[in-house]
A and B are shown apart, each in its own frame.
Chain A
Amino acid sequence: MGIFEYAPAPESRDLANLKSHYRPFVNGEFVDGSGEPLKTINPATEEVLAEVGTASVSDVDTAVKAARKAYTGVWSKMPGSERAKYLFRIARLIQERSRELAVLESLDNGKPIKESRDSDVPTAAAHFFYHAGWADKLDYAGYGPNPKPLGVAGQVIPWNFPLLMLAWKIAPALATGNTVVLKPAETTPLTALVFAEICQQAELPPGVVNILPGAGDIGAALVGHGDVNKVAFTGSTEVGKAIQRQIAGTSKKLTLELGGKAANVVFDDAPLDQAVEGIVNGIFFNQGHVCCAGSRLLVQESIAEELLEKLRYRVSTLRLGDPLDKNTDIGAINSAEQLAKIKGLVESGDAEGAQRWTSPCPVPERGFFFAPTVFSDVQQSMRIAREEIFGPVLSVLTFRTPDEAVTKANNTPYGLSAGIWTEKGSRILWMANQLRAGVVWANTFNRFDPAAPFGGYQESGFGREGGRTGLEAYLDV
């Protein structure tokens, strides 16, 4: 077909050092879990990658006890400058093993190697690096002199950025002096367990970090455990609400990072070609499995046609396929379950009268894949404008004036992020002021940095991760 076909450029699978069996990490060692082992699959091929031992409720108790012992006996007594050096070591080890981690992440999660290599893994290392520097500077964090940690943190993370979400949770917790028990997502446990190896290589004192693979019931057991002082959850709004209900009335501190339905607002004076890039990045990066995805394009009516034409052309150049191929832009959907959810919502879009366009890119026969799709003529009342699809599906709505853009953008119970595209500085700042979203990107999208706090308004959760603000979640202040 094309005269410039890119030959397959696969990253080597062997770099992942895949084992046939992985085990939970408790008190500095890999131990057998007494839960039913799970099989984690490669969503691009549906083949089994490995068997992973899981925790049972009693394992949760063992892990929390280990975390408590490490907290009381070692970690809370250790000067911040020494804690810092452990975190610096971990950051360096992540950098050293970055290629292995990137390949493993792509195998287990389905995201393109180019993203795990260039985005997920380096940013995870950066989080440890950044937070290492806070460990002995908490007096300067604005929470008064000598702020104290909370104790043991129970952390539950999602499958969309497995290693990065682990970094967002563990780095600030450890830097502030807490110990952790973390449950990775059921479908993506592997990089968390390699992280556990890294903790061993860093000679982190046993019990400071504990990793328990398992499903939702184990997450609930961890969250509900009486000796956990702090709960941190990133995942669906539905589960977040359940957790908030579960710990209501207890003294546990809670932070939640939940779903979103972000508006990406493009004005008629936007830098158009870069706006197209930002839209594409906003909804197709990580196959749209992003809580802060720009899943609603709000485009000023006067330029809508021109923009959509450019957008469709651009989307048709996106390469969908083998996540391990370095030229792949869009990888696999993480699970059959998620693929079914996406398809269901897409069908609702058709049924409710939106205009669907799907990229003509070839789609692999095996594995869970969904071609990038753009719905136009979407109205606020449609499900595809209100519900989080968590897939590579963009809903396009129009607006006439800045006020109308604000109204439509804010017309959602979510409030995680938003995008603004205009060359006019005052409008950027005015819009940013008006938008009810915890993260506002202007003339860019999906930018993450450990120094920049991240989190949502309303049903997108509460609490922030990153920056000075993010330390608060793990301090007794």
Chain B
Amino acid sequence: MTATTSSSAATATPSPLADATRDEASLRRFLHGLPGVDQVGVEQRAAGLGTRSIKKAAKLWAIDTAISMVDLTTLEGADTQGKVRALAAKAKRPDPERPDTPQVAAVCVYPDMVETAVEALRGTGIHVASVATGFPAGRTSREIKLADTKIAVDAGAAEIDMVIDRGAFLEGRYSQVFEEIQAIKAACGSAHLKVILETGELATYDNVRRASWLALLAGGDFIKTSTGKVSPAATLPVTHVMLQAVRDWFVQTGELRGVKPAGGIRTTKDAIKYLVAVHEVAGEQWLNPDLFRFGASSLLNDLLLQRRTQADGHYSGPDYVTVD
């Protein structure tokens, strides 16, 4: 069946679920009516899938796929144009001595660095993603969040990673969170929207499921675990819950939405565990950069080292990959 990713302009909720978003009370009833998530059960499934042994051709495929899913990220107060240009160069040629290495999916920066990134990546096909809406805390006014988004979009960002208002969510003001996502989605224009749930602050898997559905109902193209600025950031069980949400969304609506775990994914071994989770929880369709991304910075170098190890037949070392 052909999948439809949600259109950018309209925020029309697919009809089986339109009732859920009619008003605050309906939204609350819907979200609170979702099945609970048993903590021990989900953690056990995540741990069990983590024992899958992925070797040889499957491992090579997984490494290359993971590389192609990386949103190479720098989100520091000390970011400069030089830093962003260095990152862009890395994105284009992750391993200069192995030109058959795939490119990453995107480079992710703050709004005021978008212009630099766009310039540096012109013609490469690598997207520029920008955080927005008062990232990472999101503790500011609607006006400022919209303006923040506009800066990024106007500068050429093809993807916007917004943060939800966790305070409003924890207060139960679901409509406010919902409307804010809709508003940002509208401000994105043709850019695609990732909605950061900040799962570490949501604290329970039940909340992660509810927030996932809230973001999907509001039109988010991707749901994203974390800003990477709060610990815990991405974890396998949390990602399981989100993968289940996008699968359930697909079964109910026919629409394909994506998932992005971000923060704390440092090794190839971890990345492969995530790919196994995508494969077995959501399904094969999600095993591509249109529907799954890794928000990471140091992961890329470990992927490159492992790629070399598989190809060369011996362990590699950090001097053989570039520092950018």
Taking Cβ atoms with an 8 Å cutoff, the residues of A that contact B are 2-9, 114, 118, 269-274, 277-278, 309, 317, 326-327, 423, 443-444
Contacts and interface: CB of A to CB of B under 8 A. Distances in A.
B185 to A, nearest CB: 28
8 contacts: A3-B61, A3-B287, A4-B62, A9-B53, A277-B45, A326-B52, A326-B53, A443-B40
B42 A6 contact: no
A272 B248 CA distance: 12
Contacts of A9: 53-55
Contact of A273 (B54, B244, B279, B287): B244
A6 B54 contact: yes
A460 B94 CA distance: 62
Given A2-B284, A4-B287, A6-B58, A274 B37 contact: yes
B51 A6 contact: no
Contacts of B56: 7
B1 interface: no
B42 A4 contact: no
A274 B287 CA distance: 23
A2 B244 CA distance: 20
A273 B37 CA distance: 7
A377 B284 CA distance: 31
A274 B46 CA distance: 11
B289 to A, nearest CB: 13
Given A271-B36, A273-B37, A327-B53, 13 more contacts: A3-B61, A4-B61, A4-B279, A4-B287, A7-B58, A7-B59, A9-B53, A271-B37, A271-B38, A273-B42, A273-B244, A274-B38, A326-B51
A326 B57 CA distance: 16
Interface of B: 35-38, 40-42, 44-45, 51-59, 61-62, 65, 244, 251, 275, 279-280, 284, 287
Contacts, number: 66
Contacts of B287: 3-4
Given A9-B53, A118-B51, A444-B40, A4 B35 contact: no
Shortest Cβ-Cβ A-B pairs, 3 listed:
A274-B41, A9-B53, A272-B35
A439 B200 CA distance: 36
Contacts of B40: 443-444
Given A4-B61, A4-B279, A271-B36, A114 B51 contact: yes
A104 to B, nearest CB: 19
Contacts of B244: 273
A121 B57 CA distance: 31
Given A6-B58, A278-B41, A327 B35 contact: no
Contacts of A444: 40-41
B55 A443 contact: no
Contact of B35 (A273, A309, A443): A273
Nearest to A326: B53
B154 to A, nearest CB: 37
Nearest to B43: A274
A4 B53 contact: no
Contact of B54 (A3, A7, A443): A7
B35 A6 contact: no
A5 B41 CA distance: 26
A271 B41 contact: yes
Interface of A is mostly: loop
Contacts of A270: 35
Contacts of A271: 35-38, 41
B320 to A, nearest CB: 25
A4 B38 contact: no
Contacts of B55: 7-9
Contacts of B284: 2-4
A277 B39 CA distance: 13
A443 B38 contact: yes
Contacts of B51: 114, 118, 326
Contacts of A326: 51-53
Contacts of B38: 271, 274, 443
A2 B35 CA distance: 30
Contacts of B279: 4
B167 to A, nearest CB: 26
A317 B54 contact: no
Contacts of B280: 317
Contact of A5 (B44, B45, B58, B275): B58
Given A271-B41, A277-B45, A6 B53 contact: yes
B41 A443 contact: yes
Residue among B38, B59, B61 with most chain A CB within 10 A: B38
Given A118-B51, A274-B37, A4 B275 contact: yes
A114 B51 CA distance: 8
B240 to A, nearest CB: 8
A443 B42 CA distance: 11
Nearest to A10: B53
Nearest to A268: B35
A309 B61 CA distance: 30
Most B CB contacts (10 A, CB to CB) among A3, A271, A327, A444 go to A271
A43 B61 CA distance: 33
Nearest to B62: A4
Nearest to A421: B38
A48 to B, nearest CB: 28
A3 B57 CA distance: 11
A5 B251 CA distance: 24
A443 B44 CA distance: 12
Contacts of B44: 277
A359 B57 CA distance: 26
Nearest to A4: B279
Most buried by B among A5, A9, A118: A9
Contacts of A317: 280
Nearest to A278: B41
A309 B53 CA distance: 28
A321 to B, nearest CB: 13
Contacts of B65: 4
B263 to A, nearest CB: 24
Nearest to B44: A277
Given A3-B287, A4-B287, A274 B42 contact: yes
A278 B37 CA distance: 13
A273 B275 CA distance: 19
A407 B37 CA distance: 28
